[in-house]
Amino acid sequence: MKWLPLNYNLLSGLCLLAIQLLSAHNVFAALPNQINEQPFPSLAPILKKATPAVVSLQILGRAKTEVPDMHKYLFGSEHQAVQEQPFQGIGSGVIIDAKNGYIITNHHVIQQSYKIIVGLHDGRKVEAKLIGSDELADLALLQIKTDNLTEIKKADSNNIEVGDFVVAIGNPFNLGQTVTSGIISALGRSDLGIKHLENFIQTDAAINRGNSGGALINMRGELIGINTAIVNQGGGNVGIGFAIPINMANNLIPQIIKYGHARRGLLGIKGRNLTIKLAEAFGLKNKDGVFIEKVIENGAAQAAGIEVGDIIVKLDSHPVKSYGNLRATISTLGAGKEVTLGIIRDGQIKKFSVKLMNVSTKLNYQSSIHPGLTGATFKNHQNGIMVVKISPKSPAFMNGLKSGDIIIGVNRHLTNNIKTLNELLQENQTAFALKVERNHQPFYLVLR
């Protein structure tokens, strides 16, 4: 089974035979014949509301690849040259704020881009500015400066249900705006290995290459999710696609506007899904929730009085279905945000108010302080910030960092801890020069 970054055919009131003749597969949901006892033969009224807000994206970028450096063989240097290869990409986006020209899309669509061209519904093409992005949630925010834009109305994605009819809108295969329909197949999908923060809406609406960043809408033409990924077997759509819930995006957008990236909140626990056996052991009828295995010392949860063995069943007023669901939601909330957790302790439900801490207060963590450092795990070191480990092909790896490197400065400023590094990387600059020490030899890496 192969996971692909996503990309997404209008199902109308055609007979089953016609659908089978015109489509490559028959994984489709039937459309309702009536709504409130009134005929509903067409999706056109819904699409007229939503399609003007969905745009196509043309991407020009440079992908960094590491190539063998002759110095390594001639002089024993461990440093390898990084080569840039030009590429062109496609994707989709959704206008969420017409007044300010804000467009939401996926991070993987615009990653390593230097030019982004937005194709509007009326045929206009406008160059976009990248406001910021969050790789872990796979979201990015663009801005265009032009008049006569149409924004989409957003729904509350906490109110959607399995079985609801949905429509996906995007730019598959660069064909132009295309719509497909289906139903919500599942909610809260996680542990899929697509992205770090997973709380996906699963749908059988046909999604294909180029639909990444497009809209998933309900039967009122309201945005409920951003199309993101598909299950791919042999290159075709098999009726399993995923979208990021719009509420999750709503949490991140203000942070990206203000800082250019996410400033994550940290709860300070380690947990696991509440299993049937665990629920039986605690005498619980409900099988949904998160069992707390560890409370991090000096963390937000400990400060709020949360204990090992507690079971989290609600976040604010919303049920907690899984650990992945809880982690994804908390991670999109900003540091300093106050949340109310509903917790089962000694057979009773109790409420705890928790003020989320900043991720940068953690001594050893997966980087989210700058998109270019994603994929590296850091810890404070006596001489600076040490790279504990690094994921191959991650942004941090592509920027030239290696395990064991020690970051000792940013531009002209020295830094000796994660907190200072975080503060320096929040300055409004397009590039940063990291001063790095490797094998006791200092050098600079440009972080874009």
CATH of the domain at 286: 2.30.42.10
- Structure confidence at residue 207 (pLDDT): 83
Report whether pLDDT(6) > 70: no
- Structure confidence at residue 211 (pLDDT): 85
Residue 384 DSSP code:
E
Where residue 266 falls (left for φ over 0; alpha for ψ -120 to 50; beta otherwise) is beta
The range of the structural domain enclosing residue 384 comes to: 363-447
Residue 264 DSSP code:
B
Per-residue pLDDT of 198-215, as tens digits, reads 789 999 998 888 888 999
For residues 323 and 320, what is the distance between their CA atoms, to the nearest angstrom? 8
Residue 195 in any domain: the answer is: yes
The pLDDT-based confidence of 40 (bands split at 50, 70, 90) is low
- Structure confidence at residue 11 (pLDDT): 37
Report whether pLDDT(256) > 70: yes
Residue 18 in any domain: the answer is: yes
The least confident of 99-108, 389-398, 420-429 is: 420-429
Tell me the CB-side half-sphere exposure of residue 88, using CA atoms within 13 A: 4
Per-residue pLDDT of 150-196, as tens digits, reads 999 999 998 999 999 999 999 887 788 889 999 999 998 876 666 56
- If one counts the domains in the chain, the total is 4
Residue 68 in any domain: the answer is: yes
For residues 24 and 234, what is the distance between their CA atoms, to the nearest angstrom? 13
Query: Could you tell me which of 204, 165, 242 has the C-alpha nearest to residue 27?
Result: 204
CATH of the domain at 102: 2.40.10.10
Percent of the chain with pLDDT over 70: 79
- Residue 411: Cβ-neighbour burial (10 angstroms; 0-12, 13-18, 19+): middle
Last residue of a domain, which of 359, 383, 415? 359
Check residues 106 and 433 and name the one with the higher pLDDT. 106
- Structure confidence at residue 165 (pLDDT): 94
Report whether pLDDT(74) > 70: no
163 and 27 co-located in one domain:
yes
Check residues 387 and 359 and name the one with the higher pLDDT. 387
Give the best-scoring range by mean pLDDT among 20-24, 26-30, 233-237, 423-427: 423-427
- Structure confidence at residue 20 (pLDDT): 40
- Residue 48: Cβ-neighbour burial (10 angstroms; 0-12, 13-18, 19+): exposed
Give the best-scoring range by mean pLDDT among 276-280, 281-285, 330-334, 364-368: 330-334
355 and 380 co-located in one domain:
no
Per-residue pLDDT of 295-325, as tens digits, reads 888 889 999 999 998 999 999 988 898 888 8
251 and 165 co-located in one domain:
yes
Q: In the beta sheet, which residues pair with residue 106?
A: none
- Structure confidence at residue 9 (pLDDT): 38
For residues 33 and 9, what is the distance between their CA atoms, to the nearest angstrom? 19
Residue 148 in any domain: the answer is: no
Contact between 140 and 255 under an 8 Å Cβ cutoff? The reply is: no
Give the best-scoring range by mean pLDDT among 41-45, 87-91, 165-169: 165-169
Report whether pLDDT(23) > 50: no
- Structure confidence at residue 431 (pLDDT): 67
- Structure confidence at residue 371 (pLDDT): 75
Give the angle subtended at the CA of 420 by the CAs of 415 and 425, to the nearest 5°: 95
Q: In the beta sheet, which residues pair with residue 244?
A: 226
- Structure confidence at residue 28 (pLDDT): 46
Report whether pLDDT(49) > 50: yes
Where residue 2 falls (left for φ over 0; alpha for ψ -120 to 50; beta otherwise) is beta
* Average pLDDT score over residue span 41-55: 90
347 and 389 co-located in one domain:
no
* Average pLDDT score over residue span 75-92: 71
134 and 174 co-located in one domain:
no
Q: Average pLDDT of the chain? A: 81
Give the best-scoring range by mean pLDDT among 4-18, 342-356, 370-384, 399-413: 342-356
348 and 272 co-located in one domain:
yes
- Structure confidence at residue 234 (pLDDT): 57
292 and 346 co-located in one domain:
yes
Q: Which residues belong to the active site?
A: 108, 138, 212
160 and 253 co-located in one domain:
yes
* Average pLDDT score over residue span 396-421: 84
168 and 217 co-located in one domain:
yes
Report whether pLDDT(67) > 60: no
Contact between 106 and 212 under an 8 Å Cβ cutoff? The reply is: yes
The least confident of 76-80, 178-182, 243-247 is: 76-80
Residue 288 in any domain: the answer is: yes
Per-residue pLDDT of 319-367, as tens digits, reads 898 888 888 889 888 888 999 999 999 888 999 999 998 865 543 444 4
Chain Cα centroid distance, residue 440: 37
List the structure tokens of 32.
């309702």
pTM: 0.68
Helices and strands (H, E) in the chain, number of each type: 10, 30
Report whether pLDDT(246) > 90: yes
Last residue of a domain, which of 324, 359, 394? 359
Residue 376 in any domain: the answer is: yes
List the structure tokens of 167.
């429509």
Report whether pLDDT(22) > 90: no
377 and 435 co-located in one domain:
yes
The pLDDT-based confidence of 96 (bands split at 50, 70, 90) is very high
252 and 271 co-located in one domain:
no
Residue 72 in any domain: the answer is: yes
Last residue of a domain, which of 84, 119, 143? 143
Residue 421 in any domain: the answer is: yes
175 and 28 co-located in one domain:
yes
Q: Are strands 269-273 and 223-233 parallel, antiparallel or unpaired?
A: unpaired
* Residue recorded with tokens 């590491």: 66
